[in-house]
Structures are given as C-alpha cells and as structure tokens.
Chain A
Amino acid sequence: MTYIPKPRIDLPTDRINAIGLRQRDYEGVLSTLCAGCGHDSITAAIVQAFWELAIEPHQVAKLSGIGCSSKTPAYFISGAHGFNSVHGRMPSVATGALAGNRDLTCIAVSGDGDSLSIGFGQFGHVVRRNLNMLYIIENNGVYGLTKGQFSASADPGSKAKKGQVNQMQAIDPVATAIALGGSFAARGFSGDRDQLVPLIKAGVRHRGCAVIDVVSPCVTFNDHEGSTKSYAYTRKMSHKAVEADLVPPAEEITVSYADGDAVRVRLHDGSTVLLRKNDPAYDPTDRSTALQYLEKHRARGEVVTGLMFLDETLPEMHDVFGTTSAPLAETGYEALVPGKEALAKLQKKMR
C-alpha cells in the first residue's frame, strides 16, 4: 500500500453536486493494485455513488480489514477518516465506531478472505446486529496478496491458475447474509458500474447492515479459463434478477411499471428503493423466496446479481439498545457524570 498522491486534473466536464463538490473531491490516493483489477472499478463506483449522494466527506468513516480489497479505502474519499484494521476484524471496529458516533456514514470494504474465512464470525455477527453500515465484499475467489490460494468463496470445480481444481463448497455471502437474518443483501459485478452505483447508493441510505457482494476478478491470479470469478465467466453467466434504483426523498417517481414488475421500498430517510424485477415471480422482500432463487441459479452455474433481499423494518443496533439519538462521543461530560451527591446516596445502601 504505497502512498502516491493522485495528480489533480481539472476537467471542464467535472460537475458539482448538491453540496458544491466535484467527483474528484471523493477520490483518494492513487491505487497500487494491478492494472485491470476489479477493485479499482468498485472504487470508482463508490466515488460516483458518494458524489451523487452529496455526502460531506468528513461525515464518512471508511473501514477495512486486510487484503487487496482492504487497501482500497485509501483510494476514495480522502476527506474521510479511515481505519485499516486487522484481518477479518473490521466489523467489530465498525460496531465500536458507530456505537460511539451513530451519525457517521460508515462504509466498509472487505474481501472474500477477510469476511468469509478469518472474519466469518465477525461478518455473521455484524449482519445479525444489523449495524447501520454499508459492507462491501470485493469477491475474487482467491488470496491475491499471498499469490493465488483459493478462498472460501471459490466455486467447486473452479480451476486455479496453476491448475488445481477446488473441490470444496463455496460460501455465498449473499445467501449467508439473508440466512443470518440480514436486512439488505445484494450482489454486483465490478464490470457493471451502471448496476453497482445504484446498489451502493441504496446500501448507504438503507438503515441497517447493507451487504453488497461484488464479483471482482483478480486479473493476476483468477482471470483465466476455468475460473468462475473471471471477467469472461461472470459476463457470460451473469443473471440480473432485480435492478435497484434509489429515488431521493424530494424526487417523484415518474415512471410507471406493470403490476408485479416493480417493488417500492421506502427507506427511513424518506427515499425510495425501486426494485425492478426481471423475473415477475421473484419477491426480493421475502427471505425464503430469495434463498430459493439464489440456490436455483447457483445450481445452474449462474451468477445472480441485483438487490436480492431488502427488509427496511428490522431494527438496527441502536434501536435495539435504545441509545440516545445524539452521538455518544459528542455528549458532554456533564450529562454523563452522576456527581458527588449521587455517589454519596448510592453508598448509603452499601452499609
């Protein structure tokens, strides 16, 4: 993770957003990932999504674990505080950060090794806790930084660069998140920014833990013939189940859809997620249907993408705990200390 500042180039086409910032204001330092890495496309999608949402950079907390994917928070929103934690432990740091300051917009980037192997426990529990965060898994099926070992998301039958064939079952983070009682589970593809940007925006606005699994080919170790996480395979086998659009609170939904083609889910901030279904029988608000759908297509070797499951009614962590609405970190000490008299009174019962 070498530190190379990005040259700033002023483009005449660079527009400003609602808070007067340009897209480049949401960029970070120059990426040191391999040329063509899927992760860089995801970084670009994050930059675009946050710019479009017009979020103040300093209100963002960006976190990650360890691995190629976890390097990427350095490459976006340089005006945000970042926390590159230890391997597989990002969810606990995010939990603490949001426990202390619930007003932060939390975006976390992890990988398949970081979240599905060493951090599988923390991934599961942050989903269960429904922490109000965006949790992106940049999924390439291999350990890149240690040169190409299979990860837990490698599909059975997938071939490694050196020829070994994976025979173990793959952990699907989308199905796992849904099965664990998650409130938002989506899958994107780094090669499809048009689909990914709205997913990220919906994930940011969702109140709860939004898990987005993004298939992100590793050009160096997992983009060959026989790999099921390559650009070619993903393009060929991609099955778009449901497209998601985020409609901000102020905007009207003008397009009309035939019954059964679209589902509208109103988010807590007043915006609406419009789920356009390519399969009318699919219901992205029903947990068991979603799991069945994923399993059916997985068996065919298809990569199902889209916002697969959404439940905006589940309480997020602070709802469960009944925490005060003001960030605890900004609560004045006077409101926290009981004082000398209260201590004396309390001790009367200790005699």
Chain B
Amino acid sequence: MPDQPSASATQSRINDFVLKIGTVNGTGSASANGLLMKALFRMGVPVTGKNLFPSNIQGLPTWYEIRANRDGYMAREGRVDVMVAMNAQTYGKDLAEVTPGGFFIYDSTWPREKTLSRDDVTVLGVPLAKLCNEHFSVARVRILMKNIAYVGVLCALLDIDRAIVKQLLEETFAAKPKLVDSNLEAINLGWDYAQANFTCPLPVRAEAMGDNSKHILIDGNSAAALGCVFAGATVGAWYPITPSTSLMDGFQGYCEKFRKDPDTGENRFCIVQAEDELAAAGMVLGANWVGARAFTPTSGPGISLMSEFIGFAYYAEIPSVFFDVQRVGPSTGMPTRTQQCDVLLCAYASHGDTRHPLLLPADPRECFEFAVAAFDLADRLQTPVFVLSDLDIGMNDWMIPELEWDDRYRPDRGKLVGPKELADMEKFFRYLDRDGDGIAARTLPGQDAKGAYFVRGSGHNRYGGYTEDSAEYQDVVDRLMVKWRTAAGLVPAAKLRPADQPTRVGIIAYGSSDGAVNEALDRLNEEGLGLDYLRIRAFPFGEEVRAFLDSHDTVFVVEQNRDAQLRSLLLVELGASNEQLVPLLHYNGMPIPSRCVEDAVRAHLDEEVAA
C-alpha cells in the first residue's frame, strides 16, 4: 500500500466530514449518491446533500457533495475531506479542492497524469471500470455499476453499514429483485478491492449514532408542492424552468396520489402547462378570480415575463401565489446554480407603484409551511404573494424534522361574500373598504348577479367603476397602502437568536443562508464573539425588524447576491443608515459556506478594532 500514509498522519474525523463525488452527468450517479446519503441518514448521522450540476442532460461534469455532521450543521462548510473523482476531465480541479490531510479516490483503470499529485493528500486508486468490465457484460450496465462500485469502496473506507445499503437497494428495487443482486455485486466489487488494498476504514469515517427517525430527507420543491396540496390549491399553471420544475412535478405526483376521486377516478385538480410564463400567470389570475386556489412555480426569468400580470393582480386585487425558486441571473445566467437575486424584482414587480409580500423560507420545512401561509395571505390580502425559495433549498436534499399537520386547519379565504351576505346588502361595491384595514370584500363569478363586477387594470374607483378622476384614482391606491401596512402584521415574523451576552453587533440573513450563519455564529461564539441574529422571514418588514435595527450599531446583512438586495429594502423601507448595514455577500452560484460568513464577520470586526 504505497499510496496510503499511516492513519495517524490524518486527524481523525468521525461523523464530521465532507464527501464530494465528481462524475459525468447522465451516467446514473444520482442513484449512487442518493444511496450513500440515505445510508448515512439511516446510521443516525445528520447529513445533507448538495447537487452541483450542469445545465445539460448528458456528458458534462457534475458533483454531489455530502456533508455528514454529528452536530447537525447543514450548510456547506467549505472543506472537502474525501473526493471521489470519477471524471478524468476534472481530476486537476477536484484534487486542488481537497483539504490538506484529505483523500482523493480515482478510477485507476487508466494511468493518471504525473502532475496530478499532492503531498498533503492521500491518493487512492481503484480500477473501477476494469472491475466492472470484467464482471458485467452489458455496456450500459458497466457504466451504471461503476458508480455503484464506488459506493462499495466508500462503504469500506468510511465504514458505512453495508447491511443498510442492502436494505435500501431492496426497498428501491422491490419490484425488480434481479437489480438488487447486480447492485450488490457491484457494491461488493468495490468493497473487496478496498479491503484488500487499503487500510479500512480511514480516520475520516462514519459511525452509527443517535436516531434520525423523527427526521426526513426532502428537497424544498417537494415540500412546497405538498404545501400546495395541503393548502387546498386546485389549479397549477406553469411553464417548465429550472430549478422550479420539480415543484410542479411534485404537485402532480401528490395530486395523483391524494386527489383522485375514489369513485370516478377523476382529478380534483387541474394542471395546465402553459405556452409561456405570461400565460401561466394569466391562468393563475383567472383561476383565483373564480375562487380556486391557484399558483405557479417559476424562477427569475419567469417573474420577468409575469410582471405584467403581477401588476394587474396587485391593482385589481386578485389573490395569487408565485413560487420563485431563484437561480443565478441576470438573463439566462447559470440555470443550475443558486442565488438570492430576485428579492428586489419580486418586491416591486411590474410598472407603476407596486409592492408585494414576500415569504422567505430557509429550508424545506418552511417551504411546506410558507406554501400554506402564502395561499392564506393571498386570499386574506387579495394580492400576489411570493414564496422566494432558491435552487439550494428547492432541489437539494435536506434533513429536516418531520413535517407536521394540524387537521383542524381550515383555509383563510379572506373577505369573500356569497349570495347569503349579498342578500343583506343594498348594493355590492368591490373596492369599498368597510373595515379600515385596506381590504374590501370580493365576490366570485357564477354565484349571484348582485355581486357581479368588472375586474380591470385600468383606473377604477372604490365602487369598482372605471375612472379617470384624480381623486378617485388616488383614493384607491392610498387604500392599497393601508392594506400594505395590514400585511406587515400578518406575514411570518422575523426570528431572533440572541447572543449569550448583550451586544450592539447584529447579523441579518434570510432563506438558505440560515444554516451557514448559525454555524458561523457558533464558531465565533467559541472565540468570544457574540452576535444577535435576526432571520427575516418576510417582506413587508414587521416592527421586530425595525426594533432590531434600532438596537444595534453594526448589522451584517448576509445575502447570496451581488447587489445586497435585502439591504436595499431595509434602507428604503425602514430608513436604516448606510453605515450601519454591512453587506456580507456570496454570489458565485454555489450555496454559501459557513466559512464565508465566519471569515467575513471576523475580518470586519478585526478591522473595526484596528481602526
């Protein structure tokens, strides 16, 4: 074993490592990676997986990063302990990424270039292609099994329970037992080779711990789709776009499962694949207008196209729910990379004076909860509501506490008047605010001629009539601002994580940055640097956000975009000062690592002390 240094040279890392696998997309590596992730999960190890994939179907480099962490940190950390390099195209890049003391596993069927070596990294060659070519006869099977074989290698090296892997295979291929056998053969090929040629396990390894039975592995899009089902959404209109597509796929799948009429087999849902995003938005408005809860999942480019209808819905006050699973912009940008770059776009989408509630989920659990909340808020406020997820939350596998549901929940349909209420009214006026909260009652088509009104995007007065009268126009748009203030008290409040000791230094973050911030704060805390942390969960900002800004001199604002978009909102909407808000930005398209937050805070505070 010439390549492998003694175990003592590497620091032992049990249930605390990052495993990264580089493959070629379209070779079936996703199932191999899923298998590894689930096996660790079933061993009770907190685990998270990030799929770093290209905008392509077959032939380009793709990576999967698994972080196992006994303390439950879910963010990317910024290190790589074990790299499995299955793609010769990216050997150099992959090797360079390994943290000193780490391990580099590659397919040694073919010779590796001499230049590709590092003194501080242990390189382990496994002739995976050769092993599979000798063992399997069908070409496609050889390619697929090469990936399963590295699972076997990793089971040996990282001490992952092979019995669990077997169980997982049996569950996956319950209908095709033959596949279980061939997969197990591939696992054993890798396992046997590793056992025969390396000292197994490595100092970096897994160990059964705790109990994950109250947790699940799920991606945010699936969770949001479930939220739509539980909220009672019946109409989904969409145009396919990465990374939101799996949200509608999820909705379709769950509807097929839960929404088939048991007697007739008919669907209690209607999903329309629109001709474009403009039409998808129009369909959402049409369905909500008649009283069906309707939504569309999309990403930034889709929001750009939908903006015309978003402004219409704002002004004509039509409930509607938009999921923006954000990806890297501007323009087409990088469709398979993550960012939080649509905050300003969505907050003020469309021409004229417009403003929209945004919900900012931090993980799949909140995708589920906020999906339900979004429909309630849209109906209550009669306005477009945005759920701003991102590719990291939407498409990656997260370990979260089980989703919970209270069967007593009933949708809040807001101020909806039907024939019964209309009978008691002398006359119905669509835009008349009778309660002073800026919200007028609405009626639904198909119920009563007395409630009939004309929805229009042109100037209208409080009675619903067309107007070009200045005072009548202003009366309506001023009421919309009253409604906006009502919204601030209804959206999910920001969450405070106070420091151990009182401090005048704070940090604000939202969405998928939460995990990285929490981990960074723990590390800084160990160094005696305590920060108050406010996680913003919605726009418009509630009073708690203003209070937080008022009680801190320096506030870091962590965002995954270049232009510090949420910071702009804080400056504009709450009148915070430029000096007070320190932007902490990460926008290269990869999920923000905890190191990035930790280092930036430390550097800034050191600088302040020096100054």
- Residues of chain A having any CB pair with chain B under 8 Å: 1-3, 56-59, 61, 73-74, 78-86, 89, 91-101, 103-104, 121-122, 124-125, 129, 317-318, 321-325, 327-331, 333, 335-340, 342-344, 346-347, 350-351
Contacts and interface: CB of A to CB of B under 8 A. Distances in A.
User: Which are the 3 A-B pairs with shortest beta-carbon distances?
Assistant: A96-B286, A92-B282, A100-B292
A73 B226 CA distance: 39
A93 B283 contact: yes
A57 B452 contact: yes
Contacts of B391: none
Nearest to B278: A89
B308 A101 contact: no
Contacts of A92: 237, 274, 278-283, 286
A351 B41 contact: yes
B72 interface: no
Contacts of B409: 337
Contacts of B286: 83, 92-100
B312 interface: yes
A317 B409 CA distance: 32
B283 A321 contact: no
Q: Which of A101, A125, A342 has the most CB of B within 10 A?
A: A101
A336 B232 contact: yes
Nearest to B217: A350
Nearest to A28: B454
Given A81-B453, A335-B268, A336-B259, A101 B278 contact: no
Contacts of A79: 449, 452
B446 A95 contact: no
B28 interface: no
A55 B303 CA distance: 39
Contact of A125 (B264, B269, B275, B284): B275
A56 B261 CA distance: 29
Contacts of A73: 454
Contacts of B103: none
A173 B138 CA distance: 55
A324 B446 contact: no
Contact of A93 (B261, B270, B285, B406): B285
B270 A99 contact: yes
Chain B contact patch, size range: 35 or more
A170 B281 CA distance: 30
Contacts of A58: 445-449, 451-452
B276 interface: yes
A22 to B, nearest CB: 14
Q: Which of B38, B266, B449, B455 has the most CB of A within 10 A?
A: B449
Contact of B445 (A3, A61, A339): A61
A116 B505 CA distance: 59
Contact of A329 (B229, B275, B291): B291
Contacts of B455: 81-85
B407 interface: yes
Contacts of B280: 92
A83 B266 contact: no
Interface in B445-469: 445-449, 451-458, 465-468
Contacts of B447: 58
B235 interface: yes
Contact of B403 (A101, A336, A343): A343
B290 interface: yes
Interface stretch (B51-59, B74-82, B208-216, B549-557): B208-216
B447 to A, nearest CB: 6
B285 A84 contact: no
B465 A97 contact: no
B258 interface: yes
Given A333-B410, A351-B217, A343 B458 contact: no
Contact of B292 (A61, A125, A328): A328
Q: Which of B443, B455, B468 has the most CB of A within 10 A?
A: B455
Contact of A82 (B308, B403, B452): B452
A99 B261 contact: no
A322 B272 contact: no
B405 A343 contact: yes
Interface string B233-251: 0110100000000000000
Q: Which of B281, B309, B454 has the most CB of A within 10 A?
A: B454
A336 B272 CA distance: 18
Interface string B287-300: 11111101000000
B35 to A, nearest CB: 14
B267 interface: yes
29 contacts: A2-B468, A58-B445, A59-B446, A74-B454, A78-B452, A83-B454, A85-B455, A86-B308, A86-B309, A91-B282, A92-B283, A96-B272, A96-B283, A97-B289, A98-B286, A99-B235, A321-B272, A324-B261, A327-B290, A333-B411, A335-B268, A336-B229, A338-B258, A339-B407, A340-B404, A340-B405, A340-B406, A343-B404, A351-B38
A61 B267 contact: no
A95 B449 contact: no
Given A100-B290, A122-B279, A3 B467 contact: yes
Contacts of A81: 289, 443-446, 451-455
Contacts of B235: 96, 99-100, 328
Given A84-B458, A95-B282, 14 more contacts: A58-B451, A81-B443, A91-B282, A92-B274, A95-B237, A96-B272, A96-B286, A97-B289, A99-B235, A101-B292, A122-B275, A125-B274, A335-B268, A343-B403
B467 to A, nearest CB: 7
B381 interface: no
A321 B283 CA distance: 15
B42 interface: yes
Contacts of B309: 86, 89
A306 B409 CA distance: 54
